[in-house]
Structure 1
Amino acid sequence: MFWLASYPKSGNTWIRVFLTNLIIGGKGTFNINQLMKTYFANDNQLIEHFTPFEPSELTFQELENVRKRLFHQLPKLVLKESCVKIHHANQLFQLNESLLSDLSQKVIYVVRNPLDVVISLAYHQQWSIDQSIEFLNNNNAIMGNPTKLNQRMSADFLSSWSRHYRSWKVGYPECLVIRYEDMLENEWITFSSISKYLGFSFTKGEINEAIIKSKIGLLQKQEAKTRFKEGSIVNQNFFRKGISGEWKSILIPEQIERIVSRHGLVMEELNYL
């Protein structure tokens, strides 16, 4: 079991696509709705193992306490060869306390230029660009509705984009940080580092084959025939463009400034500036 963490719309699905193709090897190209066994950290079916209440009946702080107990027990509940996808910041809501710490499992953290994230997030959530920027800059940002009854997924505390990154990079220093842009520009180095970090011993040829089978164009062709079950109901395409630098033709200077002034230090650290 390993954790795959990211701020939303940063490329963690692409990594699961690659690992699925890597693991199945020469058995063919996988179907986008048959990814490697993945558990969603905000799945209420998992959370309900640790509380007799319907999650929406809890305050968000109570839910966070239940979630922390769950995550430390999760390896006993899930399959050994599986992935846990998590968008939650590695911090409890309004508390200076890590959500995950002192665990033995590997953690991959995927990060993407926030100037591009705001565009993908706006499309996915059906927001305006300005709404997306406001959410990205909000230290108390929560994705989802904490009080909605009978929902499959509970709400996640994200914090702002830069605090989300810091919560994982500083709070779990053993994690492997992967830049989305490097998956595009330095495929072999990036994907082979993921394989090595997870303790796999696949050959260069096997890794290259998995990279080829995970190209965005192939995923788009599959999605054109069969809806991706993890996609948004309101949007037709989950695998939209898979590029970097889209912000240059979409964001206006004032919008760029709002993001850079808020997240400039982390953007410099990640070579986005």
Structure 2
Amino acid sequence: METITWFHKESGFTLDYATSTEIIDAMKTFEVRDDDVWIVTYPKSGTTWMQEMVSAVSADGDLESISKKSLDDRIPFIDCIFPFDIRPRFQELEEAASPRFIKTHFPHQLIPQGVLTKNPKVIYVARNPKDVMVSCFHFYNAFVRNAPKVKWDEFFQHFITNNVPWGSWFDHNLYWWNRRHESHVMFVTFEEMKQDLVKVVSDVSKFLGKDLDKETIERIADHCSFGKMKKNPQANKSQNLMKDTVNGDTGNTVQFMRKGKVGDWKNQLTVAQNEIFNNLYKDKLQETDLNFDKFVL
């Protein structure tokens, strides 16, 4: 199996090339505030979707005001340092006024401990693992980082052995699933967002202590529909995918947001791969009540 050179090992985890030792060390002392709002997800689970929703809700539905600031600046991604960042996001956040809105993919073992021990609001977005796996495959291959593109069969093996950025989907999701009943934790699925976005916007509004009227909630839901999100340059950040760390513009036109569908895995997994993953899925979740069965099996 070919080594994917745009990933690296750190603290026992496979991480993205842009998650440095400096960041891992900084997370050990990063000060979490009780009025923080953390959007925590495994990659490609609806993170950007929830970021835009939280932005709109926190602005009381003032969509014009949030459009004046990039999504990355409204809700910084604390895990990585990219070539287009002026300085590490965690340093900006240390100086930012409250309340802070923060995005992370870190598993609980690497996330700042205050997220686990204090009471910041945590919105965890989960998505069925087969669609996550397929979406991650296409997403990582959109980057040209002086490394060969990984083939699907190779990536499948990397995913089921946790040799992908941010580790095991199962461990990542189960930690927050087991804390979903805590008052400061909201656990929501990508599939719920696809099924009834208005309800999810309403639930997020209540969770964040907002009392938005029906018209505002519906307007936010319309703004956050996948079709409009894909056309929104602040959300569909394709320009950042087109930059190679060494060679500059790669000509890559792959967009940050691809299909946003439920069940797209059926177009990718072979019959044999599906059987292998089903056995893994049943083994990892058999003693839990986390259930994506109707979207996976």
TM-score computed with the length of structure 1 as normaliser: 0.71
What residue number does 1:163 align with? 171
Map 1:128-139 to 2 at 5 A. Answer: 128-139=151-162
How far residue 252 of structure 1 moved from its aligned partner, in angstroms, is: 1.4
Q: Within the alignment, does 1:105 sit opposite 2:105 as a pair? A: no
What residue number does 2:291 align with? 270
CA RMSD of aligned residues (A): 3.3
Residues 156-203 of structure 1: per-residue CA shift (max 9 Å, x gap): xx2211011123333676321111011001212222111111111111
My pick for the range that moved more, 39-48 or 173-182, is: 39-48
Q: Which amino acid aligns with 1:7?
A: Y
- SS of the equivalent of 2:125 reads strand
Distance 1:212 1:47, change over 3 A: closer
Map 1:220-235 to 2 at 5 A. Answer: 220-223=230-233, 227-228=237-238, 231=241, 233=243, 234=252
What residue number does 2:3 align with? none
Contact kept? 1:6, 1:87, Cα under 8 Å: yes
Match for 1:41 among 74, 78, 91?
78
Contact kept? 1:31, 1:222, Cα under 8 Å: no
- The 1-side partners of 2:195 and 2:285 are apart by 20
Map 1:1-273 to 2 at 5 A. Answer: 1-22=36-57, 23=59, 25-28=61-64, 31=67, 34-35=70-71, 37-43=74-80, 45=87, 77-92=95-110, 100-126=115-141, 127-139=150-162, 141=163, 143=165, 158-170=166-178, 174=182, 175-223=185-233, 227-228=237-238, 231=241, 233=243, 234=252, 236-264=254-282, 265-266=284-285, 269-273=290-294
Contact kept? 2:37, 2:122, Cα under 8 Å: yes
- The 2-side partners of 1:131 and 1:32 are apart by 41
Distance 1:102 1:193, change over 3 A: same
TM-score computed with the length of structure 2 as normaliser: 0.66
How far residue 90 of structure 1 moved from its aligned partner, in angstroms, is: 0.6
- The 1-side partners of 2:90 and 2:189 are apart by 34
How far residue 46 of structure 1 moved from its aligned partner, in angstroms, is: 5.1
Residues 1-45 of structure 1: per-residue CA shift (max 9 Å, x gap): 211111100001001112233326255385496226212222455
- The 1-side partners of 2:195 and 2:180 are apart by 26
What residue number does 2:9 align with? none
How far residue 228 of structure 1 moved from its aligned partner, in angstroms, is: 3.9
Contact kept? 2:180, 2:187, Cα under 8 Å: no
Distance 1:20 1:178, change over 3 A: same
Q: Which amino acid aligns with 1:178?
A: V
Distance 1:231 1:172, change over 3 A: farther
Q: Which amino acid aligns with 1:42?
A: D
My pick for the range that moved more, 123-132 or 107-116, is: 123-132
Residues 137-161 of structure 1: per-residue CA shift (max 9 Å, x gap): 234x452xxxxxxxxxxxxxx2211
- SS of the equivalent of 2:39 reads strand
Contact kept? 1:3, 1:105, Cα under 8 Å: yes
- The 1-side partners of 2:114 and 2:160 are apart by 21
Contact kept? 1:90, 1:167, Cα under 8 Å: yes
Distance 1:78 1:230, change over 3 A: farther
Residues 49-107 of structure 1: per-residue CA shift (max 9 Å, x gap): 6xxxxxxxxxxxxxxxxxxxxxxxx98643313311110111249xxx97842112010
- The 1-side partners of 2:202 and 2:228 are apart by 20
- The 1-side partners of 2:132 and 2:68 are apart by 22
Contact kept? 1:231, 1:238, Cα under 8 Å: yes
Distance 1:230 1:123, change over 3 A: same
